[in-house]
Structure 1
Amino acid sequence: MKLLMHNMLSSMGLQNVTVGFPLKIVANEVKDISVEFDKKFMKRIISKVDWNALRDTAAQFGVKLPTELPNGNISDELLKQIHGALMEIEIIEGKLVCPETGHEFPINNGIPNMLF
């Protein structure tokens, strides 16, 4: 599971959950994979990403991102950092934990099982 996918998931479907985001990652196996940088894609996807969740999750895996996403034109250097966080960190085994209920969703072979 890439951090891009993590940034899009929530546990809103659980009973009594009002936000369910961001899910906490408990990783047992993580791989750094090489993914070709696509500047156009990164510029398009950045507006769909919850910046605070990405920044905090990326930090968990050793990637330091700015506190705030710069307004306007984002440098190629920062876009590459964001790309590294979103696309190149792969959670292979572990679990996602609902921040409100503690319900655990397993991650096996890079696939999160979000069934309730």
Structure 2
Amino acid sequence: MKLLTHNMLTSPGNARGFPLKIEGATVEEVETDFNAEFISRMVAKLEWDALLGALQQLGVAHQLPSAVPDKYAEDEAFLKALHHVLVEVEVMEGELVCPETAKRFPVKGGIPSLI
């Protein structure tokens, strides 16, 4: 599960089911081609604090600032760092935990199951 996906998942049927906590995770890094335009378009869709929280839960070192820079679309270093954490860091195994109900959802083979 890419962190881009995690940033958009919510616990089904719960008003306060976001962000899902990540526990017991096995993480892999998978190199992918950088697409500055795609990453730039994703910035407005991200919950920034949830992304930073996920990185902390996973213990992933990163070079992201505490807030999105004003002129992020022109900041290639920022976009490359964001690309890395959004699409190259993958949670392969673990559990997602609802912050409201503490219900657990497995992640197996990189695929989250919210059923």
Residue 44 of structure 2 is matched in structure 1 by 47
Residue 53 of structure 2 is matched in structure 1 by 56
Q: CA deviation at 1:59?
A: 3.1
| Aligned structure 1 segments of 4 or more residues deviating by more than 4 angstroms | none
Q: Taking structure 1 as the reference length, what is the TM-score of the superposition?
A: 0.89
Residue 99 of structure 1 is matched in structure 2 by 99
CA offset digits 1:59-114 (Å, max 9, x no partner): 33222421111123441001101111100111111010001111000001100001
Q: Is the 8 A contact 2:36 2:79 kept in 1?
A: yes
- Mapped to 1, the partners of 2:102 and 2:26 lie a distance apart of 21
Q: Taking structure 2 as the reference length, what is the TM-score of the superposition?
A: 0.90
Q: Tell me the amino acid that sits aligned with residue 70 of structure 1.
A: P
**How many residues end up aligned between the 2 structures?**
112
- SS of residue in 2 equivalent to 1:8: coil
Q: CA deviation at 1:36?
A: 0.7
Q: CA deviation at 1:29?
A: 1.5
The unaligned stretches of length 5 or more in structure 2 are none
Residue 82 of structure 2 is matched in structure 1 by 82
Equivalent position to 1:22, from 19, 22, 36: 19
Q: Tell me the amino acid that sits aligned with residue 51 of structure 1.
A: W
RMSD of aligned Cα (Å): 1.3
- Residue 74 of structure 2 is aligned to residue 72 of structure 1: no
Q: Tell me whether 38-47 or 65-74 shows the greater mean CA deviation.
A: 65-74
Q: Is the 8 A contact 2:94 2:107 kept in 1?
A: yes
Give percent identity, aligned residues only: 42
The unaligned stretches of length 5 or more in structure 1 are none
Q: CA deviation at 1:12?
A: 4.0
Q: Is the 8 A contact 1:105 1:113 kept in 2?
A: yes
Q: Tell me the amino acid that sits aligned with residue 10 of structure 2.
A: S
Q: Tell me whether 53-62 or 26-35 shows the greater mean CA deviation.
A: 53-62
Q: Tell me the amino acid that sits aligned with residue 19 of structure 1.
A: R
